[in-house]
Chains A and B, each alone.
Chain A
């Protein structure tokens, strides 16, 4: 706990390594022979996000929240339709496509589907070396040496370089994915649900590896996940996403102990530690997540929110400060209360 608190303090003093302002990603929905755009799906809607150098920022959201799209948009693997992404002073969104290569050196991605992210027809050495090749390392021996170095760093022996992805287990494949992200010595690594597809006993191994590597290589992480327990234990700060918008952001301890948004409260309740016999304290959300192509007016969460009032339909709440470094987008943050308290609904 202390280590996390320390890093949060020093982290907030530094400038952001990556800053997103008004980032929007919309996908047109086309139908008919003439492929006319009938609607658009806004997966990421005007997101502002800061990632401080040296921290691990956790991004939590459920399916349909847009968290994976956000992660990819920050790297321009998915084209943003609006907004800016400023990485170390340069607006990534404004760059011409061919000028993106240097950006790739700085920021890398770890995938959820480790097996799918490795080309089945290439050896591990070729897969990891591909990045080096793309950035001009022509000498085969030099590439091999770098590859052997990162393989060792992730706990695989150098011999693994000769083998093919299908010869490895799930956890090992994810290590290979991590090695690939590391080899270019990036400053920022965006991990898109890196442990979600792994067995429980392997998850802990990979999480600990990520933390070790962060120390050793002085990395900054954006850790995207849907399991609040996992995101919480590895992150310094946490951002909560719902239907394309960030609804709460703050230090991990703050968000966990003093949630300021009813959705965060519901998530905490759904992920509470397995303690037997404590039925009935849970906040169970009513209804289904709304259709992302037609989000509710005002606050998007109001259709499932136990605190919703008329104002929630009329006025969309903006992210506002609710404590040091803690922001939330809700008209009724003060009613949310801590995770153990019953949710007060009277007004």
Chain B
């Protein structure tokens, strides 16, 4: 019923201009929390290492066994690990790796997945068949196992972790973009572009794909969250970024032995990972509501009905 009635030009689904996205996100409850949290993580990742230069622990090679396994104190706010390094400093240093892997993996997934999905959905035919079967195969493997297998083959290290994790996200983007393209290519403006003489390729990349990106934008933060989780898992198993480089997953892995004795070594890295994933998930929730045209005509229920 609402659709019939609220059918004026002002309330029809208007595309969200870039400058308004941020504003709407801010007003959205979870979106705001997600934005703030993400901002905190970014600041820590970028500026953090500069702010802790004073501490000897900022040097990855540093060790001080006399200070090992000391609980949180005035000197070491979050305690020290088994090699005497300041836990907080290491966590701060580790932020960049986590974010780098998450964002890098998803960026790679986008770069590969979006064009594949676009071409697959637009040209159909044998390209579509081949790409879809590849995607089916990749999706048949459990995420984590696939990443594991890849790292086992390629060897550990930051670059290989990014590649391995991106493998899990690109099929989702292919599917998402393909579905959007299949419907957007039927819209009159795509036909209109052809009518004025734009080439088929031009119609695909300049007209259809940009109009398919909204669901992709919503999916990106959710994928980053997922990527972070996978990366942490790999790090936990020692297959990620190698020691002594601080990476939260790896730190978690090393702290296994101290779960009961120095539990803070497990809690704090865990909380950091949790916080990062939460930030991206909330951001994703917010973006989804921002891009949904129906939710935009949000209506405040009047306090009382007509008497």
Contact = CB atoms under 8 A, between A and B. Distances in A.
A and B touch in the complex (CB under 8 A): yes
B183 interface: no
B196 A117 contact: no
A272 to B, nearest CB: 30
**A contact patch SS:** loop
Nearest to A136: B197
B15 A117 contact: no
B192 A109 contact: yes
Interface stretch (A83-91, A162-170, A225-233, A305-313): A162-170
Given A109-B195, A119-B193, A164-B15, 10 more contacts: A104-B196, A109-B192, A111-B191, A117-B189, A121-B210, A130-B193, A131-B197, A131-B198, A166-B14, A177-B192
Interface string A107-129: 01101010111111100000000
B189 A130 contact: no
A120 B211 contact: yes
B199 interface: yes
A9 interface: no
For the complex of A and B, list the 5 residue pairs with the smallest distance between their C-beta atoms, beginning with the closest.
A131-B196, A134-B197, A116-B188, A104-B197, A166-B14
A120 B191 contact: no
B267 interface: no
B1 interface: no
B187 interface: yes
B197 A101 contact: yes
Main secondary structure of the interface of B (DSSP, over half): helix
- Give the size range of A's interface with the partner: 20 to 34
B56 interface: no
B207 interface: yes
A121 B214 CA distance: 12
A108 B15 CA distance: 27
Interface in B149-195: 187-189, 191-195
A97 B74 CA distance: 76
Q: Which of A111, A119, A184 has the most CB of B within 10 A?
A: A119
B187 A116 contact: yes
Contacts of B193: 119, 130
Contacts of A170: 9
B197 A105 contact: yes
Q: Which of A131, A135, A168, A177 has the most CB of B within 10 A?
A: A131
A10 to B, nearest CB: 29
B12 interface: yes
A162 to B, nearest CB: 13
A77 interface: yes
Contacts of A73: none
A302 interface: no
Interface in A166-208: 166, 168-170, 177, 180, 184
B207 A119 contact: yes
Given A116-B187, A166-B14, A135 B197 contact: yes
A75 interface: yes
